[in-house]
Amino acid sequence: MIDSSIRRTPRPQDLIGLSTQQLHDTFAITNLFVPGELTGHFTDLDRLFVGGVSPLGQPVELPNHKETGRAFFLERRELGIINVGGAGKVLADGHSFALNKLDCVYVPMGTKAVAFTSDDAAAPAKFYLLSCPAHAAYPARLMTSAEATPVALGAQETANKRTIYKFIHQGGIQSCQLVMGLTALEPGSVWNSFPPHTHWRRTEIYFYFDLGDKVVSHFFGEPTETRHVFLHNDEVALSPNWSMHFGVGTGNYKFIWGMAGENQVFDDMDAVKPVDLK
């Protein structure tokens, strides 16, 4: 079920007075995967839509919603999908894309019918969805995790040794404005996206997974006015374009990052010195 309300994020100056529960209700999304259903939320972050679907015995279709303002969901939107569960398929206007865990498929603007299936209902797929407005259609494309170019960052000494896999970006799957990929932390590393940064020209959404019973503290806010929320497995953190976005866990984990905005250049960001954080 797609939430009827829009997830709205506050201005930086309004962050100061929020309680712990208000921070969590504003910046975190939980219960994204409901067996046999599609759930989702529209946000005011460049009108990004975040969703999850875990099909069981029957295909689950992507429904339209009044917030698209169009005749079908992808009439003026594009969609990125990454599978974080068992093997499954994405069906898009008669084309079938088979996704194993950590594979990605891009579905372009103009696609009328999208459905999701699991190969085995006992080990269902878990499709993480991210969609934003689009003004041009690019070819639908599947990219496996083996085809994504890995980029190694960080070091074991600073507990942030990690590998970034870029899927939807200027050098990979072409899109109108969506950028999407995932990061896997090595055992013994717990910090992600650190040292931190901001990027005014893009908003960003993090989806944490493969945590097991571990916990992540996700930090956000302006560098001199930081806040945090505690997140568990398969939970989402929303990051406005004025906010930092980084986290630390009680062990290693993975997360999917997704962005939309006027600039798709991956390293278009403003670095923040850790010593300046407050």
Cα 171 from Cα 233, distance rounded (Å): 30
CATH topology of domain 2-276: Jelly Rolls (2.60.120)
Which pLDDT value is given to residue 267?
67
The structural domains of the chain, with segments of one domain joined by +, span 2-276
Which pLDDT value is given to residue 129?
98
Residues of the chain with pLDDT under 50: none
User: What's the distance, CA 238 to chain centroid?
Assistant: 9
pTM for the full model?
0.94
Phi and psi at residue 110, in whole multiples of 5°?
100, -10
Which pLDDT value is given to residue 263?
58
Which pLDDT value is given to residue 241?
87
Which pLDDT value is given to residue 277?
78
Among left, alpha and beta (phi > 0; psi -120 to 50; other), residue 162 is beta
